[in-house]
Chains A and B, each alone.
Chain A
Amino acid sequence: MFDLRSIVAGVRALFRKRQVEREMDEELRGYLEAAAKEKIRSGMSQEEALRSVRVDMGSMDAVKEEIRSVGWESTLETIWRDLRFGFRVLRRSPGFTAVAALTLALGVGGTAVVFSMLDAVLLRPLPYPHSERLFRLFPLEGKRKRGVEQASYADFRDWQWQSRTFESLAAYQGSSMNLTGTAEPERLEGSTITPGFFATLGVGPVLGREFRSDDTESVAIVSYALWQRRFGGDAGIIGKPIDLEGREYTVVGVLPPQVRFRSMPWAAPVSEIFVPVVPVPARNWHSVRVVGRLAAGVSKEQALAEMNGIAARLAQAYPDSERAQGVTFEPLAQYVVSGADQTVWLLLGAVAFVLLIACANVANLLLSQGAAREREMAIRTAVGASRGRILRQLLTESLLLAGSGGAIGAALAYWAIPLVVRIAPPFSSLFSRLEDAHLRLNWTVLVFSALLSVLSSVLFGVLPAWKATRPAQSSLAASRVGRTRGGLIALEVALSLVLLVGAGLMMKSLVRLLDIDVGFRTEHLLTMDVAANSSTPEKQAAFFDHVLQRLAATPAVISAAAVTDLPLTRYFKRDGFQIPGPHPVQGTANYNTVSPDYFRAMGIPLLNGRGLQISDSAKSPLVGVINRSMASKYWPNENPVGKTIEAIDVVAVPAPEGFRMQIKPRLLEIVGIVADARQYALEEPPDPELFIPYDQWPAQEMRLVLRVAAEPSSLIPRVEKEIWRVDPDQPVTDIKTMDEWVAREAAGRRFILLLIGAFASIAAALAAVGIYGVASYGMRQRTHEIGVRMALGARGQQVVWLILRQNLTWLVIGMVAGLASAIALTRLLASYLYSVRPTDPATFALIMLVELAIAGLASFIPARRATKVDPMVALRYE
C-alpha cells in the first residue's frame, strides 16, 4: 500500500487539507441532491425525499470519517491530534509535568551516562583489523600453574619459531625513556617491541616502516601524537636522529593516530616511543609480554593444544632453567578491559535501580492523575470513544512525558559524561578505555536514551492507562488501585534501600582506607621521578649526590632524599636473600635503594641500631637497614642488628645475543631497624623490607622525596631549576605530593562511592517524593472523613496516625524486601570493599534508620497537614 501514488496522495491530503475536505463535501452534497432528485421523480415530496436520503446515508460525519480513514495520512493525523491533546493536558498541570519529566530525566540521564561508559569500555572494538584473533599469551608457572604476565625472551623466540596455529607472535615491554637534545627534556612513556609487532596487531606506520630483524638496536618508531607534538609533523623525520636515554636513535617510522598502545592497559599511559626489545637469552629471566594473532580458521582450543605441547617440550629440554609449564591465552580485547567491565556492570545495575524508581514514581503520579481524570474518561467513554482509543490517548501522553524527560536526561548526560571522565580513577583500565574512546555524548548513547525513554514510558504508562480505562466505580476497584500504589512505594523503598546500603558500605571502606596509618607523615612531602641520563653506576650515584646536595640547600626544603621504590606508587621489587650459618635460612624481602636521609625525610622512626649514613659509600663495607616486619619474621627471638645476610644483586652482562642476567650474591651487615611503612599499596600490610644505600647499590631511576616547610607544589619550579643546574637535559616527571599518591590509591573506591552515592541520593530523593505524593493523595481523598472525625472530637495525633497507617504497611514491606535484596546483592560489591564485610550489620542498621527517617518524614508532612484541616471546610468539600 505504500507505493508512490499513495504517498503523494497522502501528502497532498495532509498539506492541502482544506481543498481535499471541500471537494469531499461537494461530492457528498452532490450525491445527496442527486439521490433526492431521483426520489422526487419517483413521487416523493421534496421534504420526504431529503429525509429519506439522509436516513439512508446515516451520519454525514461518520461517512466522512470512513473516507478519511482510507489513507495512511489519517493515522498520522490521529497521532498528531493525540499529541496536541496530550500536550494541552500536560500543560494544564505544570507541577505534575515538571516533577514527572525531571524524575525521568534523572533516570534516563543517569542510565545514559553509565551506558556511555559501557559503550566505551566494552562495545568499542580495538583499533586493529580482525582483533578477535588477537590474544595475549601467558606462561603458566609454579605448583598451581598460575598464568603470569611476562615470559622469557627465549621462550618467546621458541614459541615464535615453532607455532603454526599463530599467524604471528610478537613481544613487547613497557619502558620509559628520556628524550633530550631538542627542546625541554622530556620523559616519554614507551615500549620496547620485537620486529613485526605492529604487523601482528595489523597496523602499518603512516610514514616509514616498522622494525625488521636486521635492524640495529638504535632505531625508533614514534607515535602520531609525539610526531605532531615534538616534531611538528615533519614529513622528513624518517632517518633523522633523536636522543633517547643519552644515546642516538634513528627514527624509522611514524604510527597512525588511532594506535593508542599501552604496555599495561590498567596502569600505563599511551606509549609514544618504541625501540627494539633488547634480547635476554636467559630462560629464567622473564622480561617480555607476548601477543599473537591466530591464523585464520584456527580455534583457540587448537592453538592452546599446540602451544602447550611446545611448552612441555621446552620444559623437558631445559629442566634447570625453564620455568613455564604451559601456556594460557586471553583475548586482547578482554585483556585491555581487565576489571573495568565488572565496575561498569556494577554501576549499570545501580543506575538501573534509579531508572526503575523513576518509572515507579511516574506511574504513581499518573495513577493520581488518572483518579483526578476519572470524570473525563467517563465522558469520553459515554460519547463513544473505544477503550483502545482512550488507551492510545493515555499512552501518547506517557510518550510525550517520556520524550521531554528523555530530552532533559540527554542534556544531563551531555553535561555529566565529561565529569565522570574527570573523576575516573587514573591508572585503571577503566580510565584507559574511557580516555582512548574520547568519551562524550554520541549517537549510540542518544539512540539508547531515546529507546530507554520509550521503554520506560511503556513501563510506567501502561499500568495507569489500563486502570483508567476501567472506571473504579466499586470500592473493590478503588482498593485495587490503592494496592498498586502501595506496591509501587514498597518497590521504591526497597530499591533505594539497596543503593543506600551499597553507598554506605563504600563510604565506610573509604573512611577505613584513608584511616590507615601508612607509617610515615604524608603531608608536606613533594615527590618526583628522575631517571639519570648517565649510563655508568658511578656517574649515576654522583649525579644523585649532587642533586640531593643542591636540593637540601634550597630554602624551604627541610630534607631531601632519593628512593627507588616510593611507597604507594604500586611498584616494588622483591628478591630472595639468605641468612648464612650452619642451617642457612632462605627469605624474601623488598629491596629498596635509598639515600641516607630517606627515613628523616619520610618521618619513618628508627627503632634500633643506626640509620644509613653518607659514610656508607661504595668503598666501605656493605650495610642495610631492615623494617620491623623483616626483623620479627626472620629474627623472632634475637636482635638482628649486627647480623650478616647474603643479598642478591642481578647484573646485566653483555652476551652474544643481547644481555645475560647474572646473579651476584653480596654479604651485608644489618645496622638498624626502622618502623613499618606501607609499600606497594595502601591496603596491603607491610612485607619484609630491606633498605640499602644508593652509593653501594646505584640505580639509574629514582624518586626524589622532599620534606618541605611550604605548600609543596609552590616549590616545583625552584626544584626543577636546581636539578637542571646539575644536568640541563634531565627530565623531571611525575611530580606529585605524597598526599596525591594517597588520593590516587583511594581514587578507584572514591569513584565508585561518588557514583553509587549519587545514584543512592537520587533514589532516596525520588522515593521520598513518591511516598510524599501517595500520602498527600491519601490525605486529599479522605479530607471529608478527616473533617467528620475532627468534628466528632478526634485529636490531631489520631488524625496523623490515620494517614501514616495507610503507608506504613507498604513501607515495612519495602524495607523488608530491600533488606533481603541488599543482603543478596552487596556480595557483588565485595571486591571493592576494604575491611568491611558486605553484610556489615552497623552499616545495615544505620542505613535502615536513614531510610525509615526519609520515608517517615515524607509521609508525616502530608499527615501533619491533615490536622490543619478546618472541619467546616472539610465537610463542605465535594
Chain B
Amino acid sequence: MKSSELVQGTLDMLILKTLALEPLHGYGIALRIEQISKGVFRVNPGSLFPAFRRLERAGWIKPEWRPTENNRRAKFYQLTNLGRKQLKAETEAWERQLTAITRIMRAPAIGNL
C-alpha cells in the first residue's frame, strides 16, 4: 500500500475528528489516522506535534497527562467544546468543497473553449 501526502490543511481536521471519539496520545492519533485511512495517510511526527501545539493554542484541544497501559505516563489530547464546534464547521466546509470538486471532476468533457 502506497502512502500519500495529506491534502494541504486537512491534518488539523483529521486530528479533531480522531479525537471526537476519545482522548488519545500522540502515537495513538497517528496510528488511528493510518489505520482508518487504510494506510493511505501516514503522519510524520514533524507535522503531527506542531499541529498539536497549534490546536492547543487555538483552544480546540486540551492536553492531559495520563498513565498508559504499561504504567508510563503519556500526554493525552482531548477535544474541547470549542474544538467540537470547530470540527463541525470544518466538516461542513469540507463536504461542501468535496461535492463541488466531485461535480467538476465528473462533468462531461466539453472540449476546449
Contact = CB atoms under 8 A, between A and B. Distances in A.
Interface of A: 1, 5-6, 9, 23-24, 26-28, 30-31, 33-35, 38, 56-58, 62-63, 66-67, 69-71
Given A31-B45, A58-B46, A67-B49, 11 more contacts: A5-B57, A9-B56, A9-B57, A27-B25, A28-B26, A28-B45, A30-B68, A34-B74, A38-B31, A56-B45, A71-B53
Interface string B6-33: 0000000000000000000111101100
Contacts of A6: 57-58
Contact of A57 (B25, B46, B68, B72): B46
Contact of B27 (A5, A23, A35, A69): A35
Nearest to A72: B57
B46 A30 contact: no
Contacts of A62: 46
Contacts of A31: 25-27, 30, 45, 49
A405 to B, nearest CB: 38
Contacts, number: 69
A30 B25 contact: yes
Given A23-B75, A30-B25, A34-B27, A70 B45 contact: no
B9 to A, nearest CB: 15
A33 B56 CA distance: 23
Contacts of B45: 28, 31, 56-57, 63
Interface string B49-80: 11011101111000000001000111100000
B49 A27 contact: yes
A398 B73 CA distance: 47
Contacts of B72: 30, 33
A30 B75 contact: yes
B56 to A, nearest CB: 7
B26 A30 contact: yes
Given A30-B74, A31-B27, A34-B27, A70 B57 contact: yes
A9 B25 CA distance: 20
B46 A66 contact: yes
B27 A30 contact: yes
B57 A27 contact: no
B44 interface: yes
Choose among A1, A27, A28 the residue with the greatest number of B CB atoms under 10 Å from its CB.
Answer: A27
Chain A binding site: helix, strand, loop or mixed by DSSP? helix
A536 B72 CA distance: 112
Contacts of A63: 45-46, 49
5 contacts: A6-B58, A31-B49, A38-B27, A38-B31, A58-B46
Interface SS of B by simple majority: helix
Interface residues of B, number: 24
A206 B30 CA distance: 78
B53 A67 contact: yes
A250 B99 CA distance: 93
B51 to A, nearest CB: 8
Contact of A71 (B26, B57, B68, B75): B57
Contacts of A28: 26, 45, 49
Contacts of B31: 38
Nearest to B29: A31
Contacts of A56: 44-45
B50 A69 contact: yes
Given A27-B75, A30-B75, A31-B26, A66 B49 contact: yes
Contacts of B59: 5
From A26, A28, A34, residue with most partner B Cβ within 10 Å: A34
A62 B47 CA distance: 11
A681 B40 CA distance: 97
A9 B62 CA distance: 12
A34 to B, nearest CB: 4
- Give the one of A5, A26, A31, A57 with max B CB within 10 A: A31
Nearest to B54: A70
A300 to B, nearest CB: 58
Nearest to B82: A5
Contacts of A67: 49-50, 52-53
A66 B50 contact: yes
Contacts of B28: 34
Nearest to B65: A23
Contacts of A66: 46-47, 49-50
B78 to A, nearest CB: 15
A30 B52 CA distance: 15
A454 B46 CA distance: 37
A44 to B, nearest CB: 16
A62 B28 CA distance: 22
Q: Which of A5, A66, A71 has the most CB of B within 10 A?
A: A66
Contacts of A24: 49
A24 B28 CA distance: 16
Nearest to A33: B72
Contacts of A69: 50
B40 to A, nearest CB: 16
B42 to A, nearest CB: 8
